[in-house]
């Protein structure tokens, strides 16, 4: 009986990948990160696929992989996987919940501080040979009102991390019934947007959250307000965001995620001087990548060696 052929397409901790390759019962492709073109050539024989955010498991990919039995998203968000078509084809889908939560939460806080203290712009100015101290007077996070949209694991981490700044932290989440020691529940999303100095988004991308942050909600923000998104790009209407930033109706924004990734070279967001852009770095720490890789390998072994499906994600 042939060994299951496993492909890791978007990279993994080197030590963990070497451990995966040493599992005798599995046939692991010897590269931990491959181009999408190379992946296409491997698809006819792939039975297990470990991905991060770069690989999109589309209908076309699935149709090109007739032996595919299992897809693992090394991370939490699975909007880059056509889960309904996987179900139709009998392909199981898992993620690694919780493994990169701390990194994602810390990145959201980093974006808050970067926008507040204007450090990204000051850095660029310094590297251009300037010394523009007066131009980069910022604001403190201390005692600001921070609104968190979505109070799941990552939203709660953000609340804990910023508590040291003595913030007044609010949250909106219909699935959480009461206030906590670190944040106060707000019943209406509009109220959270109107009351907060900083708004940080931490909801999954589902049909109900697509473009939930739209022109109407953005119009409720304070002129000094800052919007942070380290969740998923399609949660925010980017055209509406562009307009409020261009017209300086809010102070600024910090975005790690976008409706289309990689962000297009001609995206109008790149033209703006009041938004900090990072290339989906929320889970990109060595610690998080080790944890998601460790979980993914364990789940591959359980599935193919013990017929045990862990952390299944349904469509």
Q: Which residues are catalytic?
A: 232, 261, 280
**Is residue 1 pLDDT above 80, yes or no?**
no
Shared domain check, 117 and 95 = no
CB 253 within 8 A of CB 228: yes
CB 175 within 8 A of CB 209: no
CB 283 within 8 A of CB 289: yes
Q: Given this model, what pLDDT does residue 79 score?
A: 86
**Is residue 126 pLDDT above 70, yes or no?**
yes
What CATH number should be reported for the domain holding residue 67? 3.40.50.720
Q: Could you tell me the CA-to-CA distances from 98 to 34, 57, 291, 303, 308 in Å, in that order? A: 25, 22, 9, 20, 20
The DSSP output letter for 3 is P
**Is residue 27 pLDDT above 90, yes or no?**
yes
- Lookup result for tokens 């708004």: 199
Token digits for 207?
């049909």
Rg (CA), the chain: 21
The SS3 call for residue 298 is helix
- Number of structural domains in the chain: 2
Shared domain check, 261 and 248 = yes
Q: What is the per-residue pLDDT across 60-82, written as a single tens digit (0 to 9) for each?
A: 999 999 999 999 999 888 989 99
Shared domain check, 214 and 299 = no
Q: What is the per-residue pLDDT across 232-275, written as a single tens digit (0 to 9) for each?
A: 999 999 999 999 999 999 999 999 999 999 999 999 999 999 99
Domain that holds residue 49: 5-99+286-306
Q: Give the whole-number percent of the chain exceeding pLDDT 90.
A: 91
Nearest to 194 by CA among 162, 219, 228: 219
**Is residue 315 pLDDT above 80, yes or no?**
no
CA 1/CA 34 separation, integer angstroms: 27
Q: Given this model, what pLDDT does residue 75 score?
A: 87
């Amino acid at each position: 009986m042939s060994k299951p052929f496993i492909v890791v397409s978007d990279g993994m901790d080197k030590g963990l990948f070497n451990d995966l390759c040493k599992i005798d019962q599995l046939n692991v492709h010897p590269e931990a990160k491959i181009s999408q073109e190379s992946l296409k050539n491997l698809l006819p024989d792939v039975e297990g696929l470990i991905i991060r955010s770069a690989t999109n498991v589309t209908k076309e990919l699935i149709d090109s992989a007739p032996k595919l039995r299992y897809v693992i998203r090394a991370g939490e968000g699975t909007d880059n996987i056509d889960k309904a078509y996987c179900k139709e084809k009998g392909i199981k889908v898992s993620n690694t919940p919780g493994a990169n939560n701390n990194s994602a939460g810390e990145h959201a806080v980093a974006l808050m501080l970067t926008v507040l203290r204007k450090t990204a712009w000051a850095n660029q100015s310094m590297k251009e040979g300037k010394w523009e101290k007066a131009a980069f007077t910022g604001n403190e996070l201390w005692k600001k009102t921070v609104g968190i949209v979505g109070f799941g694991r990552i939203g709660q981490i953000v609340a804990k991390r910023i508590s040291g700044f003595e913030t007044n932290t609010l949250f909106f989440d219909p699935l959480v019934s009461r206030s906590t020691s670190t944040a106060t529940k707000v019943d209406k999303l509009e109220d959270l947007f109107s009351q907060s100095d900083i708004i940080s988004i931490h909801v999954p991308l589902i049909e109900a959250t697509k473009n939930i942050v739209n022109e109407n909600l953005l119009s409720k923000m304070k002129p000094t307000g800052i919007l942070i998104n380290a969740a998923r790009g399609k949660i925010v209407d980017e055209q509406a965001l562009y307009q409020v930033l261009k017209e300086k109706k809010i102070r600024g924004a910090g975005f790690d995620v976008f409706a289309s990734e990689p962000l297009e070279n001609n995206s109008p967001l790149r033209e703006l001087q009041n938004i900090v852009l990072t290339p989906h770095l929320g889970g990109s720490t060595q610690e998080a990548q080790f944890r998601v890789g460790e979980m993914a390998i364990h789940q591959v072994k359980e599935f193919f060696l013990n017929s045990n499906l862990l952390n299944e994600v349904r469509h």
